[in-house]
Amino acid sequence: MMETIFRAAMNHIRAKEDLKRNTKAYLIASLNASPAATKSRSARSVRQRVVIAACTVFFVCAMSAATVAYYKTPASYLSLDINPSVELGVNGLGRIVSATAYNSDGTTILNGQNIMDADVKSAVHTLVKSAAQKGFVAQDGSTVISVTSETDDASTAIELENAAAQGAETAIQSERKTATISKDHVPLEKRDEAKKLALTPGKLSLIQKLQALDPSVTVSEYKDAKVKDIMKRINELKKLAKANSSAPEDDNTAIDEADGQDAPSSSGTAVDKNTQDTANETDDEDSPVSSGESGKDSVSDSSGDPEKVDSQPASSKNGITSSQTQSSSGSTETGSRSSSSSSAINNDSKLPQ
Amino acid sequence: MEKTSSGTNDVVTEALDKYSDMVRRICFMYLKNEADVEDIFQNVFLKLLQYQKPFENDTHEKAWLCRVTINECKDFHKSFFRKNTCSIDNLEIPIEDKSEEGVLREVLSLPQKYRNVIYLFYFEDYSVPEIATILGRNQNTIHTHLRRAKAILKNKLRGFDDGNYF
């Protein structure tokens, strides 16, 4: 029954003459046209596919290029000063993407070392080990290894410094030597200034601290000096200033000025913005409680009291000053955070072997 | 289908005379719009006339055309730019007989997979294995679709006359 009705109904559905006529005209036109025109639809389809494929390839290439560019572009820097001065470019993923020697000694320790794509810790480990093997780290433990992060991001700075300090520490330990490791942080703008002077920002920072204590010091004078010599000179000047000072309050004030916090007239005047920034970050925000931050203090305040410094390295079994020890020394200080942090540096690097 | 540049007109006319009604009915099962039907019509016959391989016989040619038309209609519905749905209630069916119109309307309201088998089985007189080949489905699937489609129609068409359509 349904079948019959359905058949009868469907028999009413027929192609109208208009439809046939239009289709016929279209087909004749299409078939009589050139082969290219008859195949226009398939050609269009092919063109669409080619365009889509091209777009896909372009997109993939663009993404790859962007990824490579992101990977290869340093987001922050780390300068390593012993006296070999080397600056490492670190990308956003924490990998080394560039290594620049700032002096011939730097070239020497970089020579033959493959640190590209390595993480900060292993790269610094490799370079410090190379420096130790090539005689840049003294046996008596007097060598000061300065690692300075160059970035505008505080957390990245701490990560870089800690990783670099750990790398340096393990390298020194593996070479059975002793050294003092100091950490510092400078903003990126400081890097430009240092680059103009052909110095690493870390060394420039130290020289500027020295200038804060002795305005007669020039950058060129200490440009090729070892970090330990600069530190030694800073400590001498601080001892001298302390001896000349009658009241302890004055001493503390002098240290504060040297750290660049207030820096009114005398020694503090010479402290540049960078030092001030560093001092502010480390002293104001992160008191000696945090190991990473206190380590930063120790570097930036390297012009601090030598006596306090001595205590820190001593706490390190291998003679390497660690940031943790600095915090404890800071807590014993007279009250000025800047002075406590400054103590971390000195230690005169007399570390037990 | 054989064709030469000089005999294009004859070839086109022959193809249209032979298959235009069938193509139109398949289009009717899928499309609600005359303009859309014309597009499909042109595409289907162009493909037929441009098809290079020879058909084994007329049955083969007809089955091929059924498959191509169904594919074209499905592709049309898949097209993002042509998605304009039209309710079956608004469709104008050129049939005066009420029972015929009622049956047709109910068939058109079936899911697409059931519409195909109903049309091919009841109107084109294809067997289940042939429908399975044309639609590229398993025979048991076609059996199931046919049984379910009939059950739906039986239920819906109970109001007509004595309700005994099957």
Q: Domain range holding B129?
A: 89-166
Determine, for residues A10 and B119 on separate chains, whether the beta-carbon distance falls below 8 Å: yes
- pLDDT class for A342, splitting at 50, 70, 90? very low
ipTM above 0.95, yes or no: no
Determine, for residues A28 and B8 on separate chains, whether the beta-carbon distance falls below 8 Å: yes
Determine, for residues B97 and A24 on separate chains, whether the beta-carbon distance falls below 8 Å: no
B93 and B81 belong to one structural domain:
no
Whole-number percent of chain B with pLDDT over 70? 81
Q: List the single residue in B42, B45, B100 with the smallest CB-CB distance to A9.
A: B100
Q: Are A87 and A205 in contact (CB under 8 A)?
A: no
Residues in chain A: 353
Which segment of A20-24, A28-32, B105-109 scores lowest on mean pLDDT?
A: A28-32
Considering A305-314, A331-340, B62-71, the range whose residues carry the highest mean pLDDT is B62-71
Determine, for residues B94 and A12 on separate chains, whether the beta-carbon distance falls below 8 Å: yes
- pLDDT class for A216, splitting at 50, 70, 90? confident
Query: Mean per-residue pLDDT for A7-35?
Result: 82
Query: Mean per-residue pLDDT for A316-345?
Result: 35
B78 and B119 belong to one structural domain:
no
B137–chain A nearest CA distance, Å: 23
- Rounded to two decimals, the pTM is 0.45
Helix A337-346 vs helix A306-315: angle between axes, to the nearest 10 degrees?
60
Q: Residue A35: what pLDDT?
A: 58
Query: Which residues on neighbouring strands pair with residue A145, listed in sequence order?
Result: A181
B98 and B66 belong to one structural domain:
no
B133–chain A nearest CA distance, Å: 22
B72 and B95 belong to one structural domain:
no
- Distance from C-alpha of A213 to C-alpha of A223, rounded to nearest angstrom: 17
**Among candidate residues B86, B110, B144, the one where a domain is terminated:** B86
Quick check: A281 pLDDT over 80? no
**Among candidate residues B67, B86, B105, the one where a domain is terminated:** B86
Quick check: A262 pLDDT over 60? no
B65 and B104 belong to one structural domain:
no
Question: What are A286's two structure tokens?
Answer: 């992160």
What percent of chain B is helix, strand and coil (3-state, nearest 5)? 70, 0, 30
Interface of A with B (CB under 8 A): 1-3, 5-10, 12-15, 19-20, 22-24, 26-28, 30-32, 38-39, 41
- pLDDT class for B160, splitting at 50, 70, 90? low
- Chain B residue with minimal CA distance to A18? B38
Q: Which residue has the higher pLDDT, B95 or B73?
A: B73
Angle (nearest 5°) at CA A134 between A133 and A140: 70
Quick check: B114 pLDDT over 80? yes
Q: Residue A112: what pLDDT?
A: 83
Determine, for residues A24 and B8 on separate chains, whether the beta-carbon distance falls below 8 Å: no
B140 and B71 belong to one structural domain:
no
Q: Which residue has the higher pLDDT, B114 or A335?
A: B114
**Among candidate residues B38, B56, B86, the one where a domain is terminated:** B86
B60 and B136 belong to one structural domain:
no
Q: Residue A309: what pLDDT?
A: 36
What pLDDT, in 10s, does the model give residues A90-101?
988 888 998 888
B52 and B78 belong to one structural domain:
yes
B104 and B46 belong to one structural domain:
no
Determine, for residues A1 and B24 on separate chains, whether the beta-carbon distance falls below 8 Å: no
- Distance from C-alpha of A261 to C-alpha of A202, rounded to nearest angstrom: 19
Phi/psi-derived region of residue A347, left when phi > 0, alpha when psi is between -120 and 50, beta in every other case: left
B135 and B79 belong to one structural domain:
no
Determine, for residues B37 and A13 on separate chains, whether the beta-carbon distance falls below 8 Å: no
- Report DSSP state, residue B32: -
Cα dist. A41→A45, A257, B44 in Å?
6, 81, 13
Determine, for residues A23 and B94 on separate chains, whether the beta-carbon distance falls below 8 Å: no
Question: What are A93's two structure tokens?
Answer: 């993923």
Q: Residue A320: what pLDDT?
A: 39
Q: Which residues of A touch B164 (CB under 8 A)?
A: 1
Q: Residue B5: what pLDDT?
A: 52
Mean pLDDT for all residues in chain A: 69
Number of helices (H) and strands (E) in chain B: give both, helices first: 7, 0
B78 and B122 belong to one structural domain:
no
HEC readout, chain A: CHHHHHHHHHHCCCCCHHHHHHHHHHHHHHHHCCHHHHCHHHHHHHHHHHHHHHHHHHHHHHHHHHHHHHHHCCCEEEEEECCCEEEEEECCCCEEEEEEECCHHHHHHHCCCCCCCCEHHHHHHHHHHHHHHCCCCCCCCCCEEEEEEECCCHHHHHHHHHHHHHHHHHHHHHCCCCCEEEEEEECHHHHHHHHHCCCCHHHHHHHHHHHHHCCCCCHHHHCCCCHHHHHHHHHHHHHHHHHHCCCHHHHHHHHHHHHCCCCCCCHHHHCCHHHHHHHHHHHHHCCCCCHHHHHHHHHHCCCCCHHHHHHHHHHCCCCCCCHHHHHHHHHCCCCCHHHHHHHHHHHHHCCCC
- Distance from C-alpha of A268 to C-alpha of A26, rounded to nearest angstrom: 92
Q: Residue A19: what pLDDT?
A: 86
Determine, for residues B122 and A7 on separate chains, whether the beta-carbon distance falls below 8 Å: yes
The domain spanning residue B42 has which CATH number?
A: 1.10.1740.10
Q: Residue A82: what pLDDT?
A: 84
- Distance from C-alpha of B47 to C-alpha of A97, rounded to nearest angstrom: 59
Give the number of domains in chain B.
Answer: 2
Quick check: A274 pLDDT over 60? no
Q: Which residues of B touch A28 (CB under 8 A)?
A: 8-9, 12
Q: Which residue has the higher pLDDT, A66 or A238?
A: A66
Q: Mutating which of A1, A16, A32, A45 best tests the B interface, going by the most B Cβ atoms within 10 A?
A: A1
What pLDDT, in 10s, does the model give residues A28-68?
888 776 555 555 556 677 888 899 999 999 999 999 999 98
Q: List the single residue in B25, B94, B165 with the smallest CB-CB distance to A1.
A: B165
B56 and B4 belong to one structural domain:
yes
Q: Mutating which of B10, B22, B103, B120 best tests the A interface, going by the most A Cβ atoms within 10 A?
A: B103
The domain spanning residue B164 has which CATH number?
A: 1.10.10.10
Which segment of A161-165, B11-15, B142-146 scores lowest on mean pLDDT?
A: B11-15
B138–chain A nearest CA distance, Å: 24
